[in-house]
Amino acid sequence: MNHMIELEKKHRRNTGIMMAMLVAVIVIGAACLFVGSSNMSFGDALDALLGGGNDAQSRIIWKIRVPRVLAAIIAGAGLSVAGLVMQTTLNNAMASPSTLGVSNAAVFGANLSIIAFAGGFLSTGNNLSSFDVGANPYATSVLAFVFSSLSVLLILGLCKVRSFSPNVVVLSGMAIGSVWTAATTILQFYATDVGLSAAVVWSFGDLGRATYRTDAIMAAVVLVGVVFFVLMAWKYNALLSGEATARTMGVHVEGLRFVSLLLASVITAVCVSFLGVIGFVGVICPHVTKKLLGQDHRVTIPVSCMMGSLLLLLADTLSRSVGNGSALPVGAITSLLGAPFFIAIIFGRKEGHHGC
């Protein structure tokens, strides 16, 4: 029974890693509450966090930093796990939340809202203060979400005809995505300078747009997705043996692929609609996880989530610290921070894993 001890050891190691990462997310998340561009001292921040401090300090902590840190944790986890599930179900290492053109469609929707219905929609955030100028603070997000959902439904509808063959999904996603990008370009061509800059700034991706309400909506969607993904872990593992073999083991491959892609896309659509485009998290985090811990989805699903949270927390904190008053686009930082690490991991570990 020697191997049972070995397997038990491995199981304990994986559980240990998951616990350590959970602690890291909590600790780093808490630490990020103390970092920002307002130069608040550690003591003041702690004071405000515990209910003291003056009004301004309390507002900075509770109205700005806490929802922002929560958004980083939730959206990071969501985007990362969405990428992992897309890679597995499409059997394509390059698949990511943007594969189905979700982000492109969201950008088009937001651009339409900002450029075509300009004026009151110039605010890029979900701040209630936008009500002052007569705009619905959610208009941009709502249009972004409507278009990304339309795009997903269109692609999944098209692919149903070809029983969701992975290549068909990826290629139609790319094609439809490029249509949205082209439409956005045309829209921007006719935009005013102000509209154009507002639209471009929207697409940068900014966790500062998060409010408790948007956090709650994102959390609900991400939670539903993650619970489903965790329950399907063995079926995703079966897909690692190849689609045909998975079918012979009793897995309903098309159904699994449809529901997984739908949930992954909705997670992406919701996050992107509220926060703007945050690229690369869905590619980097799942791959780093797989390289370090292997492909068993019982492990990679929770670890990818936490890896995404960590990357987005660190990227956002960095963007707030170096932005000199206004945060740098977090999407750029995730790539700047993640890509070198990603390359180091890919080149640093010996090859031999299938499908990575």
What is the 8-class DSSP label of residue 63?
A: I
Q: Which of 178, 192, 241, 326 binds other proteins (CB under 8 A)?
A: 241
Residues in Cβ contact with 6 at an 8 Å cutoff, skipping those fewer than 6 apart: none
Residues 182/107, Cβ–Cβ less than 8 Å: no
Q: Shortest gap between Cβ of 245 and other proteins (angstroms)?
A: 5
Amino acid in the structure at residue 209: R
Residues 6+ apart with CB under 8 A from 213: 126
Residue 167 within binding range of other proteins, rule CB under 8 A: no
Kindly report the three-state secondary structure assignment for every residue of 261-278.
HHHHHHHHHHHHHHHCCC
Q: Which amino acid is at 269?
A: A
**Nearest Cα to Cα of residue 77 among 317, 238, 308:** 308
CA distance 178 to 155: 13
Stretch that binds other proteins, among 32-40, 141-149, 231-239, 263-271 (CB under 8 A): 231-239
* Interface segment toward other proteins; rule CB under 8 A; list 57-65, 139-147, 248-256, 277-285: 248-256
Binding of residue 231 to other proteins (CB under 8 A): yes
Residue from 136, 196, 204, 247 binding other proteins (CB under 8 A): 247
- What span, in angstroms and rounded, lies between the C-alpha atoms of 268 and 83? 9
CA angle 74, 76, 81 (to 5 degrees): 100
CA distance 56 to 68: 17
The closest of 101, 226, 84 to 152, measured between CA atoms, is 101
Residue with tokens 């509770």: 62
Which of 178, 234, 322, 349 is close enough to bind other proteins by CB under 8 A? 234
Total residues interacting with other proteins, rule: CB under 8 A: 31
Q: Which is nearer to other proteins, 120 or 294 (CB)?
A: 294
Query: Which DSSP symbol is given to 38?
Result: T
Q: How far is the CB of 22 from other proteins (least distance, A)?
A: 21
Site for other proteins in 65-124 (CB under 8 A): none
CB of residue 296 to other proteins, shortest distance in Å: 6
Residues 251-270, interacting with other proteins (CB under 8 A): 251-252
As given in the structure block, the two tokens for residue 315 are 């990227």
Distance CA(100)–CA(272), nearest Å, equals 13
Distance CA 106, CA 152 (A): 11
When binding is defined by CB under 8 A, the residue of 250, 324, 325, 351 that contacts other proteins is 250
Q: Does 296 bind other proteins (CB under 8 A)?
A: yes
355 binds other proteins (CB under 8 A): yes
Min dist. Cβ of residue 255 to other proteins (A): 10
Taking CB under 8 A as the criterion, the residue among 30, 194, 224, 249 binding other proteins is 249
Candidates 110, 169, 191, 232; binder of other proteins (CB under 8 A) is 232
Whether the CB-CB separation of 91 and 166 falls below 8 Å is answered with yes
Q: Which of 6, 129, 160, 339 binds other proteins (CB under 8 A)?
A: 6
Residue range at the interface with other proteins (CB under 8 A); choices 27-35, 123-131, 189-197, 346-354: 346-354
Applying CB under 8 A, the span of 59-67, 225-233, 273-281, 303-311 interacting with other proteins comes to 225-233
> Taking CB under 8 A as the rule, does residue 354 contact other proteins?
yes
* Contact in structure between 310 and 338 (CB atoms under 8 Å): no
Which one among 49, 66, 207, 238 touches other proteins, defined by CB under 8 A?
238
Q: Could you list the residues that contact other proteins (CB under 8 A)?
A: 2-4, 6-7, 10, 231-235, 237-238, 240-242, 244-245, 247-252, 294-296, 352-355
